[in-house]
Structure 1
């Protein structure tokens, strides 16, 4: 009940949080968020020491600690996160799967968008809409899983293996639903996980006796999270948006501007990575992250995996040489949701590019109503479209294969790395500043280089590239 205590101290104007926030140069809501993320780790230790042995107390513990955390961060505004839970609980009882999915999707997205209209400003806001983002995806996924459960009972052969793993043939009880929503490690910033995972976790389907193994994994992730948090603080003090919005930014060399923007974005993303690493650490420490067994490469023995709640693949992110690497490594659980519950469910459209476009549109809408979100996901669409076609054409040539088989692979890797850093910065600018006037200011300083580089691909660059590759050799 630490959250309730700190909240009471806050109402009495004797809480240490405002003072600490001023000391470290951040806002009180941001510090509350960090305190909550860090608090989940000791809550996991307490759980294993005193709660795990009693089956009846497990879910209640998550309900109490999660609600306590919600009240600490949002006060009475936490009621907004309870309303959709109540709605889906009753809609599941009275509506068949398909209609429950439609109602859940429409209601939660509408509730979230109204929340944005009421609370959103030009700054980075920490309000009840932040956990509501996570909640919206969890409830939409839950409604689909219940529908898949209905299909499975009917013997529907169209269900994929992934659908079968998460399908639910029984609706959760109200207390199970609240525990699932307010699970203290994931309630605020994710990662999202299926109710099937939560149910199996509560019912001893995970090897929680291997505490020593996953405790070491959890501590490693926790320390990585702290390291990335420190790197974020240092990085944004050197590379910041304030400079890019200034007149001084236009006066420096155009190449410097692009590199500066790219490095700014790289460090700006560390804010999310640090949060995900810290929350993953507590998820592992709770034992929720169990992800099956795999053979040890050295002795062939089966070992348990604890990456079921991983939201970032650090090595792939840091060594990315194309934007697909960023998609594969960053915000993995949200990308998995988008693939399984949006992209693949749009198969009836009969067009992959169209399915991808609507998936990105959904994600932009899910983030907010500011123009910057839509520009960022549009940027992602045109970049991925170009990359896939460029790679499919070039990778088949003997020249490309010879380059990667020779010492030229090192300068080629360097060029690709610079390409991803520079254009990640360019594509991420609208997402960070959100409003049109700001991202237009930065884009004009960069001479709209991304659109010159990516937009003409299908009409100009691709035909030229194909011509030279297929050009017959002179006799």
Structure 2
């Protein structure tokens, strides 16, 4: 009940969080959030020492600790997070799993979330009850689809391999649903995980007693990485900050410097999310929730991994960012939105509506929509550009040359950093008059680079390869 204790200290004016926030230039809600994320680790230790031996205490432990965390961060507004749980439980019990339940769950949760955004959202980065609610929204939508998939299985319909892993043949009890929602390591910032994973965890399907030192060590490694990224974020945004980017001095720098500055700023801003996910993953591993089967004859504990660090840090195209960043949300978008839009018969249309869903899920501000539009445009261009370039002989000669390989890698790395910065500017600034000012300082280079690709640059590139008689390497056929 640490949350209630700290809340009481705040009520009597003795809370340390305002002083900590003032000392490091953060906000009081941000410090509360950070402390709550850190608390997941000791809660996992307590769970293994005192709770796990009594199965009937497991759900109540997660409910009590999760609610305690919610009260500490959001006070009485935590009731918002409980309402959708009650709704999906009632619809699942009385209407039964199926298409109708999925539609009701989807519409209700997205409407509730958007109403919350409208009521709480400002021009700044807000930490309100809508933060865990956006995580909750995805978890409950996924739960409704998993119940529907379970019904399909019972009726003998074939499912994909991924759907089989998460399908549920029985409606969870109310206590299980609440424990699933308020699981303390993931309640605030994710990562999201399936109810099937949660159920397997609390019913001893994971080999937690086989070699506890293994996952305890991995948990500590993730904790250290998370703390290192917290420090890197604080240092990075201190050097590359948003205020300078919106100042008159920023306009006086060269256009190249402005692009690089925005790119490096964005890179360090993303460390904020990476640090949170590493710390929550550390807690998930320490609980044992992250078990992910046996690979190469060894147990793996990456089931709640939300960031692939090496892929992210070495990215040379935007697809690498998608593969490595916010992995569980991307998995949700692929399995529960993109693939469910197969009836459209067009991959680009499915991708567009998936990104539109993610933009709406983030909020109502224009910046979110511009960021995901940028992602759509960039990914569309890269998918078409890469096959054209990679099938030229000169491309392979450059990669086979040691000096050429490093030069090309440096250029691609610069491209990804710069245009990740370009894409993230609207997401961070949110409102039109702020992000448009920064885009003006960058001379709208991203729009000029990516929008004309299909009708201008692509035909010119193909014509140039043909006119210069650049030898092409045709793909091998079986």
Q: TM-score, normalised by structure 1?
A: 0.97
Between the aligned partners of 1:144 and 1:346, the Cα distance in structure 2 is 13
SS in 1 for 2:186: coil
1:213-362 aligned within 5 A? 213-295=214-296, 302-362=297-357
Q: Report the equivalent of 1:443.
A: 439
* Equivalences for residues 21-420 of structure 1 within 5 A: 21-96=21-96, 97-157=98-158, 159-209=159-209, 210-295=211-296, 302-407=297-402, 408-420=404-416
SS of alignment partner, residue 295 of structure 2: strand
Per the TM alignment, residue 400 of structure 1 is displaced from its structure 2 partner at its CA by: 1.4
What displacement does 1:294 show? 1.0
Measure how far apart 1:326 and its partner are.
0.3
Q: Displacement of 1:470 after TM fit?
A: 3.4
Distance 2:469 2:430 in 1: 50
Q: Which digits, 9 at most, give the CA deviation of each residue in 1:256-280, with x for residues without a partner?
A: 0000000000000000000000000
Deviation at 1:54, TM superposition (A): 1.0
Deviations 1:409-433 (A, max 9, x none): 1100000000000000011000000
Find the aligned partners of 2:378 and 2:369 in 1 and give their Cα distance.
Answer: 14
Name 1:2's counterpart in structure 2: 2
Aligned to 1:16: 16
Q: Secondary structure at the match of 1:230?
A: helix
SS of equivalent residue, structure 2 residue 157:
coil
1:182-210 CA-partner distances (Å, limit 9, x unpaired): 00000000000000000000111101012
- Distance in 1 separating the partners of 2:292 and 2:260: 39
Question: Alignment partner of 2:364: what SS?
Answer: coil
Q: Distance in 2 between matches of 1:278 and 1:119?
A: 27
Unaligned runs of 5+ in 1: 296-301
Q: How many angstroms does 1:9 deviate by? A: 1.8
Of residues 452, 457, 460 in structure 1, which corresponds to 2:456?
460
Please report how far the alpha carbon of residue 13 of structure 1 lies from its aligned counterpart in structure 2 after TM superposition.
2.0
Quote the Cα distance in structure 2 between the aligned partners of 1:403 and 1:95: 61
For the residue of structure 2 that corresponds to 1:143, the secondary structure is: helix
Alpha-carbon shift at residue 27 of structure 1 (Å): 1.0
Cα distance, 1:348 vs. partner?
0.2
Q: Give, in angstroms, the shift of residue 14 of structure 1.
A: 2.1
CA distance in 2, matches of 1:179, 1:196: 13
Deviation at 1:25, TM superposition (A): 2.0
Give the structure 1 partner of residue 419 of structure 2: 423
Tell me by how many angstroms 1:402 deviates.
Answer: 1.9
4+ runs deviating over 6 angstroms: none
- The CA deviation string for residues 347-387 of structure 1, in whole angstroms up to 9 with x for no partner, is 00000000000000000000000000000000000000000
Alpha-carbon shift at residue 391 of structure 1 (Å): 0.5
Aligned equivalents of 1:200 and 1:443: distance in 2? Answer: 48
Output the TM-score relative to the length of structure 2: 0.97
Distance in 2, matches of 1:138 and 1:49, equals: 28
> Residues 62-93 of structure 1, C-alpha deviation per residue, up to 9 Å, x if partnerless?
11111110111101000000000000000101
Residues 160-219 of structure 1: CA deviation (Å, up to 9, x unaligned)? 000000000001100000000000000000000000000000111101012100011000
Q: State the alpha-carbon separation in 1 of the partners of residues 137 and 321 from structure 2.
A: 24
* TM-fit CA distance, 1:473: 4.2
After TM superposition, give the deviation of residue 471 of structure 1 in Å.
4.0
Aligned mates of 1:471, 1:90 — CA distance in 2: 66
- Root-mean-square deviation (CA, aligned residues, Å) is 1.0
> Whole-Å Cα distance in 2 between the matches of residues 141 and 67 of structure 1?
22
Q: Quick one: distance in 2 between partners of 1:172 and 1:434?
A: 38
